[in-house]
Amino acid sequence: MKSEKGENLMEKIVSLCKRRGFVFQGSEIYGGLAGTYDYGPLGVSLKNNIRNLWWKIFVLDRDDMYGVDAAILMNQDVWKASGHVKGFSDPIAETGKQFNLMFQTHVGASEEESAVSYLRPETAQGMFVNFKNIVDSFHPKLPFGLAQIGKAFRNEIAPRDFLFRVREFEQMEIEYFVQEKDWQKYFEEFRKKMLDWTKEIGLDPKHIHELEVSDADRAHYSKRTIDFEFDYPFGRKELYGLAYRTDFDLKSHAEASQTDFSYLDEETKEKFTPHCIEPSFGLDRMILAVLLDAYTEDELGGEKRTYLKFSPKIAPIKAAVFPLLKNKPELIKKAQEVYKNLKKEIADVVYDDNGNIGKRYRRQDEIGTPHCVTIDFDTLEDNTVTLRDRDTGKQERVKIDELTSRLKGV
Ligand code: GAP
DSSP secondary structure string for all residues of 45-58: HHHHHHHHHHHIII
C-alpha 26 chain-centroid distance: 19
Atom of ligand 1 nearest to the CA of 238: 14
98-102, 111-115, 212-216, 274-278: range with lowest mean pLDDT = 111-115
Task: Output the CA 93–ligand 1 centroid distance in Å.
Answer: 21
> Among 3.40.50.800, 3.40.50.300, 3.90.1150.10, 3.40.50.12280, what is the CATH number of 317-408?
3.40.50.800
Pairing of strands 349-351, 319-323: parallel
Classify 200 as helix, strand or coil. Answer: helix
Q: Are 379 and 358 in contact (CB under 8 A)?
A: no
Give the pLDDT score at 113. Answer: 83
- Measuring from atom 21 of ligand 1, which residue has the nearest CA? 165
Asked whether residue 405 carries a pLDDT value surpassing 70, the answer given is: yes
Asked whether residue 155 carries a pLDDT value surpassing 50, the answer given is: yes
The stretch 155-166 carries a mean pLDDT of 97
Q: For residue 250, which amino acid is it?
A: L
- Measuring from atom 22 of ligand 1, which residue has the nearest CA? 165
Residue 101: phi and psi, rounded to 5, are -85, 0
Element (H, E) at 187: helix 183-200
Residue 6 banded pLDDT, cuts 50, 70, 90:
low
Using most ligand atoms within 8 A of CB, pick from 103, 169, 242, 248 the residue to mutate for ligand 1: 169
Residue 67: count of CB within 10 angstroms of its CB = 14
- 359, 346, 286, 340: which is closest to 316 by C-alpha? 346
- Measuring from atom 19 of ligand 1, which residue has the nearest CA? 282
Classify 31 as helix, strand or coil. Answer: coil
Residue 303: count of CB within 10 angstroms of its CB = 9
3-17, 191-205, 328-342, 351-365: range with lowest mean pLDDT = 3-17
Classify 372 as helix, strand or coil. Answer: strand
Using most ligand atoms within 8 A of CB, pick from 149, 280, 283 the residue to mutate for ligand 1: 280
**Does 3.30.930.10 match the CATH number of domain 4-72+119-292?**
yes
Atom of ligand 1 nearest to the CA of 124: 1
Atom of ligand 1 nearest to the CA of 154: 23
Question: What's the pLDDT tens digit per position in 191-236?
Answer: 999 999 999 999 999 999 999 999 999 988 899 999 999 999 999 9
Atom of ligand 1 nearest to the CA of 159: 23
Give first-to-last CA distance, the chain, whole Å: 35
Task: Output the CA 320–ligand 1 centroid distance in Å.
Answer: 35
Letter string b/e over residues 350-387, b meaning 16 or more CB atoms within 10 A of that residue's CB: bbbbeeebeebbebbbbbbbbbbbbbbeebeeeebbbb
The stretch 388-410 carries a mean pLDDT of 92
Alpha-carbon span 145 to 59, nearest angstrom: 9
Residue 294: phi and psi, rounded to 5, are -80, -25
Alpha-carbon span 351 to 369, nearest angstrom: 12
Alpha-carbon span 348 to 327, nearest angstrom: 26
Task: Output the CA 150–ligand 1 centroid distance in Å.
Answer: 12
- Measuring from atom 7 of ligand 1, which residue has the nearest CA? 122
Angstrom distances, CA of residue 322 to CA of 6, 118, 356: 33, 50, 10
Give the pLDDT score at 221. Answer: 87
Residue 3 banded pLDDT, cuts 50, 70, 90:
low
Domain positions in the chain are 4-72+119-292, 317-408
- 285, 41, 319, 295: which is closest to 159 by C-alpha? 285
Atom of ligand 1 nearest to the CA of 283: 16
Task: Output the CA 369–ligand 1 centroid distance in Å.
Answer: 29
Alpha-carbon span 21 to 43, nearest angstrom: 7
Task: Output the CA 289–ligand 1 centroid distance in Å.
Answer: 14
Task: Output the CA 121–ligand 1 centroid distance in Å.
Answer: 9
Question: What's the pLDDT tens digit per position in 352-386?
Answer: 999 999 999 999 999 999 999 999 999 999 999 99
Q: Are 66 and 134 in contact (CB under 8 A)?
A: yes
Residue 2 banded pLDDT, cuts 50, 70, 90:
very low
Classify 161 as helix, strand or coil. Answer: coil
Asked whether residue 4 carries a pLDDT value surpassing 70, the answer given is: no
Give the pLDDT score at 93. Answer: 79
100-114, 183-197, 236-250, 273-287: range with lowest mean pLDDT = 100-114
Give the pLDDT score at 1. Answer: 43
Ligand 1 neighbours by CB, cut-off 6 Å: 122, 124, 154, 156, 165-166, 169, 171, 173, 238, 240-241, 278, 280, 282, 284-285
Task: Output the CA 134–ligand 1 centroid distance in Å.
Answer: 25
Please indicate whether residue 51 or residue 301 has the higher confidence score (pLDDT).
51
Most confident among 42-46, 111-115, 345-349 (mean pLDDT): 42-46
Pairing of strands 144-153, 65-67: parallel
The radius of gyration of the chain from alpha carbons, rounded to an integer in Å, stands at: 25
Asked whether residue 410 carries a pLDDT value surpassing 60, the answer given is: no
Task: Output the CA 173–ligand 1 centroid distance in Å.
Answer: 10
Q: Tell me the percentage of the chain whose pLDDT exceeds 90.
A: 91
Asked whether residue 402 carries a pLDDT value surpassing 80, the answer given is: yes
Beta bridge partners of 235: 232
Mean pLDDT, the chain, rounded, equals 95
The stretch 112-121 carries a mean pLDDT of 92
Classify 20 as helix, strand or coil. Answer: coil
The stretch 90-106 carries a mean pLDDT of 90
Residue 224: phi and psi, rounded to 5, are -155, 135
Angle at the Cα of 333 from the Cα atoms of 331 and 337, rounded to 5 degrees: 115
The answer to pTM > 0.85 is: yes
Give the pLDDT score at 158. Answer: 94
The stretch 171-180 carries a mean pLDDT of 98
Asked whether residue 7 carries a pLDDT value surpassing 80, the answer given is: no
Give the pLDDT score at 164. Answer: 98
Task: Output the CA 273–ligand 1 centroid distance in Å.
Answer: 26
Task: Output the CA 281–ligand 1 centroid distance in Å.
Answer: 7
